Amino acid sequence: MKFGVVTFPGSNCDQDMVYTLRNIMEQEVVELWHKDTDLQGVDFVVLPGGFSYGDYLRSGAIAQFSPIMEKVIEFANNGGYVLGICNGFQILCETGILPGALLHNENQRFICKNVYLKASTSKSLVTANADLHKAYKIPIAHAEGRYFIDNEGLQKLKDNDQILYQYCDKDGHITPDANPNGSVDNIAGVTNEKRNVFGMMPHPERAADEALGNTEGKLMFDSILEQVQ
């Protein structure tokens, strides 16, 4: 599969993503620049984590207007696969392709630590392989990760089975104590109604290499490749 990883000024997880896709998952990867207006025929676009445009105004608020985003939005609207990790998720919410918004963490601090996640549905490319009863240990690193959506939007997410991941404790219980940032319903990731766009705050690409001592994030990439190929 041919992946395109977009770098914005201020992205800092782009090379982690390129490394994981190219070296661990052994896929073809095209490195795309925010000023590009050609997706070079990729099958799957990834918007990586970081601080695009310095997180000015709000994380993702400026990146959504990058030249490449016009193409990414067109690609997504035509059914193309798009995955946003952390800042990528923030950008996708800013564009409105994904529902909801990412607000400042409840404690108003940048949080960098391992958390536990549970896949909430197996009906998606990224969670198809997940054991719905297992808590996966994946790192987070963000200041604006508190997922917010109004009650009507939340109901719609639930009715359409669009919640991908929820924060939980190590035994898989979804409790307020296991919620690192104050997200509505412990939500850590969502998909769109058409199920071709995915966003999540945790970083599976930082937990995919044995050298890092945790490969629980690799499952998500395995899942994507198994479903699409």
Ligand X SMILES: NC(=O)CC[C@H](N)C(=O)O
Contact set with ligand X (CB under 6 A) = 13, 49-51, 55, 59, 86-87, 90, 110, 141-145
Minimum Å gap between C-beta 74 and ligand X is 24
Cα separation, 218 vs 42, whole angstroms:
21
Closest CA to 87 of 182, 13, 176: 13
Active site residues: 86, 203, 205
Count CB neighbours of 186 within 10 A: 22
Minimum Å gap between C-beta 70 and ligand X is 21
Tokens standing for residue 194:
């058409």
DSSP string over 39-86? -TT-SEEEE--B-GGGG-SSTTTTGGGSHHHHHHHHHHHTT-EEEEET
Minimum Å gap between C-beta 3 and ligand X is 18
**Residue number with CB closer to ligand X (103 or 225):** 103
Cα separation, 49 vs 89, whole angstroms:
8
Residues 6+ apart with CB under 8 A from 228: 1, 43, 44, 81, 125
**Residue number with CB closer to ligand X (45 or 195):** 45
Residue showing the smallest CB distance to ligand X in the complex: 49
Minimum Å gap between C-beta 59 and ligand X is 4
**Residue number with CB closer to ligand X (117 or 121):** 117
**Residue number with CB closer to ligand X (49 or 99):** 49
165 has which bridge partners? 119, 189
> Helix or strand or coil: residue 2?
strand
